[in-house]
Structure 1
Amino acid sequence: METKKLAKTEIKKAAELLKNGELVAFPTETVYGLGAIATNETAVKNVYLAKGRPSDNPLIIHVTDLEMVARYAKNIPKNAEILAEHFWAGPLTIILPLKEGILPSVVTGGLNTAAFRVPNNQDTLALIKEVGEGIVGPSANTSGKPSPTSAAHVLHDLNGKISAVLDGGVSEIGVESTVVDLSIPDVATILRPGAITEEMLNSLIPHVKMDEHFLSEKEKPKAPGMKYTHYSPNAKVYITEATPESFLAAINWAKAQGMSIGLLADKEILALFQNQVTATFELTTLHNIKLATKRLFEGLRALDEQNVEVIFAESFEEIGLGVAFMNRLKKAAGGEEFGGGRG
C-alpha cells in the first residue's frame, strides 16, 4: 500500500477513508496526528499497529467543540468550560470522566477517562466535521521517535502503513499540546506541559499543579508522552548547556570516543563549531525559545538522517514555553546531560 498525500482540497476524500475504517494522518498546530474514528475499535487498534505503540498508552480524541465532547464525557466541570472557552481551538487537551461504554477500551488504555482537544487547524476541523465523530490523533510517527511536524515526516515513518496524510504544511508550535487532568473534582493537574503554560492555566482556574513524575516503562500512563524515554532519535542525545565552553568540552569528549557528532543549537553556537562536527541543525538564533520549540523535532530527525552517533542539544531555562521544550528534550535524551564522567 502506498500512502497518498492529500491536499486541503481533498478533505472529503480523507473523510471517506476514515469512515471506511482507514487511517489518515492530519495536520494540527502542534504536530501531525494519526487519525481513526474514535468509536471504530478495529481502526483504533490499527493505529497502535501502524505506530508500534504500547496498547496501555491512551489516545487523545480530536473534536470540533465542547458540544461534541459532551457526547462522550459525563459531568463536564465548570473548569473545563472555562478552559475550553479561552484556549479552544488550541494546544490544550483536557482529561474528563467518560460515559460508561461510550468508547472502546483500546482508546482509553482501559481507563474510565479520556482526553479531548479542539485543534487550531481549519482543515482538520473541517475533516472532523465531515466525519461527524471524534477522531483519535496520536502523533503520526513510529512510537518513541521524534514527533512529525510535516507531511514529509509522516511519510518517512508511516509510508505504506496508513492510507493517506492530509498535507497542511509545517506545524506552527512543534510540540504536543498541554494535557490537564480535570477528571477528579476540584483538582487540576498538568500531566504534559505544552504551549499553554501553568501560569496561563492558573490565571483562569485555581490550584493548577504540574505532575513532575516521569513514568517508568512498567507504569500505566493516564496521558500520552508520560514515559521517561520518548521522542528519541536513533543517535544518543545529550542535553548541553548553551555556552561555547560546554559545547567545546562535549565535542572534544565525543571525538576522543571516535563518534560522529551532530549539533542541535543556536546559530551563534554552530558558527563556532560547524567545521569540527559531522552535521549541524540550526535550532534557533539569539536563544529564541519559540523558534527552538518549533524546530526541535525537525532537528532531531534531520541529524538522524545524517547518521550521526551522538547529538549535543542546547538547553533552555525552564520557564514559560521552556518547560515544554525541556520536557521533550529530557525525554529524547533519557534525562542525560553532558557532564559528570564525560568531559
Structure 2
Amino acid sequence: MGGKYVTETLRADAVGLARAAGILREGGLVAVPTETVYGLAARADSDEAVARIYAAKGRPSFNPLIVHVASLDQARGLAEFSAAAERLAGEHWPGPLTLVLPRRRKAGLATAVTAGLDTVALRMPAHPLMQRLLQEVGLALAAPSANRSGFISPTTAAHVLASLDGRIDAVLEGGECERGLESTIAAVRADGSIDLLRPGPIALEAEAGDGEHIEAPGQLASHYAPGKPVRLDATQVAPDDFMIGFGAIVGDCTLSTRGDLAEAAARLYACLHEGARSEKPRIAVAPIPDEGIGIAINDRLRRAATPPG
C-alpha cells in the first residue's frame, strides 16, 4: 500500500463489489458513488485505513469524517440516539441526512474519524451500490467526498480520477450521482434541540450552527474550490469568464434552462469541474434563488468563491 498506487476502475457488478469489499477489509481506499457525491471509503474502525484517507485527500486533521452505516442498529452501536435523533433517522434514512450525535465510549472507531471530538457524524446512504457494498463489507465505512481536500466534489468516476488517480486503490464506477450535493448535516443536542451544520438536499426545521467550531465536514469557509476566481450573482458575462448559467441566463455550462433547482444541484459540481478545466481564467455564476435546495447551492458557491485563508 505504500508509494504510488495503481488505481483500478471497478464495474458495478458482483465481481466489482467483491473486489471493492476485499480492498476495504484489507485497509485500502475505494471511491464509491452515493446519491449525493462519490465518497472515499475506508473501514472506520482502522486507524491506519482512516489515516490513508487524510493522506490521499491532503485533509486537515481537525476536519472530522462522516461514517456510513448499513442499518439503524449499526448506527446505534456507534452513537447515542435520543428521541429526536430516532425521529430524524426514521423520517430521512436511508437518505442524504447526516446526524452528529454523542459517540459511544466503546464505538470502536478510529480516533481520526471524529477528529478527537466526543461526537460522531453518521449517515445511512440511499444509493443501492453503496448499500450493497456496506452489506458486503460488514463494517461501517468512513467516506468523505472523493477529491483532494478543499476542491470540487466529484459526481462522476472521472471527477474522482482527475484528482485522486494514483492516490487510492480503486473507484467503483456507478455513473453520475443523482443529487449532486453533499448531505444535510444536523447536530442533535442533549436537550433535544437541532443545529443545522451544513445545508443540503433535506430541509430541516433547525437553528443554524454557530460556525465557530468544526463539528462536521463542509464547515470550512473556503471549500469546493475550482482553483480560479469565482464571481457570484453574475448577470453580465465578461470575455474572460467561464459562465455558469441558470434559467434565462445561458452559460458555457448551464445548471438548468428550466430554472429547476433540483436539476441545478445535480449539475453544480459538473459545471464547476468544466469551468476549472476551461482556458478561461475566471468563473462567473448566474444568480441562484436562495430558497429550497438553492440555499445549499448558494452555500457551496460562497465557499467556492472564498479564497483560501
Name 1:315's counterpart in structure 2. Answer: 287
1:55 matched to 2:61: yes
SS class of match (1:148): coil
1:93 matched to 2:86: no
Name 1:228's counterpart in structure 2. Answer: 221
**Structure 1 residue 183: Cα displacement:** 3.9
Name 2:9's counterpart in structure 1. Answer: 5
CA offsets per residue over residues 66-103 of structure 1, 9 Å max, x none? 100112113x1111111111111100000111112532
1:182-221 to 2 correspondence within 5 Å? 182-198=188-204, 202=205, 208-211=206-209, 213-214=210-211, 220-221=213-214
1:1-343 to 2 correspondence within 5 Å? 1-9=5-13, 10-74=16-80, 76-102=81-107, 103-198=109-204, 202=205, 208-211=206-209, 213-214=210-211, 220-241=213-234, 246-248=235-237, 251=238, 255=239, 260-266=240-246, 268-270=248-250, 280-334=252-306
SS class of match (1:85): helix
Alpha-carbon spacing, 1:2–1:189, altered in 2? closer, same or farther (3 Å)? same
TM-score relative to the length of structure 1: 0.84
Unaligned runs of 5+ in 1: 203-207, 275-279, 336-343
How many angstroms apart in 1 are the aligned matches of 2:190 and 2:166?
Answer: 41
Unaligned runs of 5+ in 2: none
Structure 1 vs Structure 2 CA RMSD: 1.5
TM-score relative to the length of structure 2: 0.93
Q: Which runs of 4+ in 1 moved over 4 A?
A: none
**Structure 1 residue 46: Cα displacement:** 0.6
CA offsets per residue over residues 194-228 of structure 1, 9 Å max, x none? 01012xxx3xxxxx2122x555xxxx410101011
CA offsets per residue over residues 266-288 of structure 1, 9 Å max, x none? 26422xxx6xxxxx112211321
Aligned pair count?
300
The answer on whether the counterparts of 2:246 and 2:287 sit within 8 Å (CA) in structure 1 is no
**Residue identity opposite 2:303 in structure 1:** K
Question: Which one has the bigger helix percentage?
Answer: 1
How many angstroms apart in 1 are the aligned matches of 2:185 and 2:305?
Answer: 21
Larger Rg: 1
The answer on whether the counterparts of 2:64 and 2:216 sit within 8 Å (CA) in structure 1 is yes
**Residue identity opposite 1:144 in structure 2:** G
CA offsets per residue over residues 18-62 of structure 1, 9 Å max, x none? 000100011000000000000011010010000010010000000
